[in-house]
Amino acid sequence: MEILDPALQKYLDDHCDTEPGQLQKINRETYLKVLKPNMLSGHYQGRVLSMLSKMMQPKLILEIGTFTGYSAICLAEGLSDDGILHTIEVNRELEEMLISHFKSTNVENKIKLHFGAAEAVIADFEENNFDIVFIDADKKNNYTYFELVLEKVRPGGLIIIDNVLWKGKVYGSEKDTDTESFRKLNEKIAVDTQVEKLILPVRDGLLIIRKK
């Protein structure tokens, strides 16, 4: 899913912080046991998420799309001492693996796992002052999730959306449904005056959005 030249990506990987040992194990287990393991954030993107979180020192994070827990752990690394990360996953078959992965880290007590459709889970949250929201779930609903969480993010908070370059297709001539969905997402957010925004060409594209 990387859009950068493999040699450049290797150079970037080699010149950022080393992937923590437990995340290396989660990475390997994901590729051995789970379908579509390339959905994992991975080393470099994980360090980007960790860095952004540490810069924000958040008390409250929301993640939409847990998968095998890699990105949740990376984001939780920057939480304040009393901080909490809520993460939502629709696939209950991943529950045992996720619990195991979170228990193997030093951020287990800071992560609260929810199962169900993201829209329903978000609607039940009393929290409305998130510092960071990371959206990495079913792609067709990205803009719906953005609209749902925008009012729940504090001014100055971040919303991060993954895969927005969609294998480089968004700036090509492809017109398939998923590509068109990402184009519309990027175009709508580009003209949204409630937020500042930029796309980082990290892995498959990270859209970084700051609420004004």
User: How is the chain split into domains, by residue range?
Assistant: 6-211
Q: What angle do CA 83, 85, 88 make, to 5 degrees?
A: 165
- Whole-structure pTM value: 0.95
Nearest residue to 47 via CA among 185, 169, 200, 182: 200
pLDDT attached to residue 68: 97
DSSP symbol at 17: P
pLDDT band, residue 210 (cuts 50/70/90): very high
pLDDT band, residue 1 (cuts 50/70/90): low
Q: Is 107 helix (H, G, I), strand (E, B) or coil?
A: coil
Residues 183-196 have a mean pLDDT of 97
pLDDT attached to residue 3: 82
Distance CA 126, CA 136 (A): 22
Distance CA 144, CA 7 (A): 36
Q: How many CA atoms lie within 13 A of 106 on its CB side?
A: 6
- Per-residue pLDDT tens over the stretch 115-151: 999 999 998 888 889 999 999 999 899 999 999 999 9
Q: Is 16 helix (H, G, I), strand (E, B) or coil?
A: coil
pLDDT attached to residue 126: 82
Average pLDDT over the chain, rounded to whole? 95
- Hey, what CATH class is 6-211 in? alpha beta
